[in-house]
Amino acid sequence: MSRIARLSIIFASALFVGAPVATAQAKDKVKVGFIGPLTGGVSANGLGGRNSADLAVKLRNAHAKTKYEYELVVLDDECKPNVAVQVATKMAADKEIVAAATHYCSATAIATVDVYHKFGFPIIVWGAVLPDITYRAKYAEVHRVNGTMINQNDANAELISKIGFKNVAVIHDTTDYGKGHNEYFSKAFAKLGGKIVGTFGVTADQQDFTAELTQIKALNPEVIYFGGLTPIGVRIRSQMDKLGIKAVFDGTSGIVSDAFIQGLGPLAEGSLAFREGAPTEKLPGGKFFMENYAAQKYDNPPEAYGAFSFAAMDLILDSIEKVGPDRKKVIQELANVKERDSIVGKVTFDDHGQNTVAVITKYVVQDGKFVEWDDSEYATGKRKLPGQK
């Protein structure tokens, strides 16, 4: 029986009785953790990730054959590296917490890997995309279920080139996340014969981009590539309009969020973005996940990485069920994850704990929604991006 079929049966049985199935004998309680940005500019992604991890725990607790009763411990990293180190230390130092699904923001994920290694605390990253998180060091404790920004930027450069754009200006935040996107996109675009006409670093909390955008306007790029997250992406796109800049706004997975469209309204139209993995509704367990998420009536949508958070927590719970609530044994078990079914597809961790997510989804905002590029009217030529021939 596939994992999706098994999970469907578990959830159906829970709905039938209206509550987690009672057992004759009380189960031992086991704590697992979740860390993400629950406040701040990208909190929508963190709340969606938290809810998704919570759903995985609820489904597991609903099944009579589950060996343990799981409790989810949730901490807020605020998408700030200094805060992330504090909460990661707090969680890893708590010996009652066996393992955790951690981090949407690359800046927080890379800041905390040494902490998890120091405490021998197994984690699975559920949303951060900087390659160094898994590849800078070979820490047995660190795993990632989503992909990295390398393939994402290869796909981005390929689409831009295919459309016919040759000149791109880059704006990136100066965190590790933004600098990584700048590096990988610029390399990929140059290999395809494209020209980066200017590169501008901005701080993650910057409000006014008039100086940078005025310089960019003089360079007359066809595309402005943005390596950063939703809050400053909204500001930059808004200020592009005020300065009369007609270039295509080309973003990363960091803007694939309902908050980006809500923050910009009609100005979001035609923006590009790229994310590893298929759209949630097209994932192997996408329908199962969305139906059960909706049944819980959470206040926030799962957002782009919710399914990955669910998959990360589900893998953690699988490991504990198999080897017990022992950190060392869980680390050993996660090292053996090969071709494991999950709602996001097969998961295989390489010798650095990195799952390979081959599919990259290309998005364009059309009529207030992120639409797959290949399904859009822009791809068919019915609509045109600014400057598109």
Domains belonging to the chain, first-starting first, are 3-147+279-357 (3.40.50.2300), 150-275+361-380 (3.40.50.2300)
Sign of torsion over alpha carbons 75, 144, 155, 378: negative
225-263, pLDDT tens digit by residue? 999 999 999 999 999 999 999 999 999 999 999 999 999
Give dist(CA 207, CA 178) in Å, integer.
16
Written as six digits, the tokens of 206 are 């910057």
Determine the Cα–Cα distance for residues 359 and 152; give it in Å rounded to an integer.
9
Q: Tell me if 62 sits within 8 A of 14, measured CB to CB.
A: yes
Res 14: pLDDT: 42
Cross-strand partners of 68: 28
What is the structure's pLDDT at 386? 82
CA atoms of 120 and 369, how far apart (whole Å): 42
Strand partners, 249: 224
- DSSP β-ladder status, 369-372 and 360-366: antiparallel
Give the residue from 365, 342, 360 showing the smallest Cα distance to 286: 342
Cα separation, 13 vs 352, whole angstroms: 37
User: What are the CB-based long-range contacts (under 8 Å, 24+) for 294-298?
Assistant: 295/11, 295/15, 296/51, 296/54, 296/55, 296/58, 298/51
Tell me how far apart the alpha carbons of residues 180 and 131 are, in angstroms, rounded to a whole number.
Answer: 8
What residues does 169 pair with on adjacent strands? Answer: 198, 224
Which residue ranges in the chain fall short of pLDDT 70? 1-24
Rounded Cα distance between 315 and 310, Å, is 9
Both structure tokens of 151? 């393939």
3-state SS class at 260:
helix
- Answer yes or no: are the C-beta atoms of 104 and 52 closer than 8 Å: no
CA atoms of 368 and 265, how far apart (whole Å): 7
Report yes or no: 357 and 265 within 8 Å, Cβ to Cβ: no
Q: How far apart are CA 162 and CA 328, in angstroms?
A: 48
> For 304-340, what is each residue's pLDDT tens digit?
999 999 999 999 999 999 999 999 999 999 999 999 9
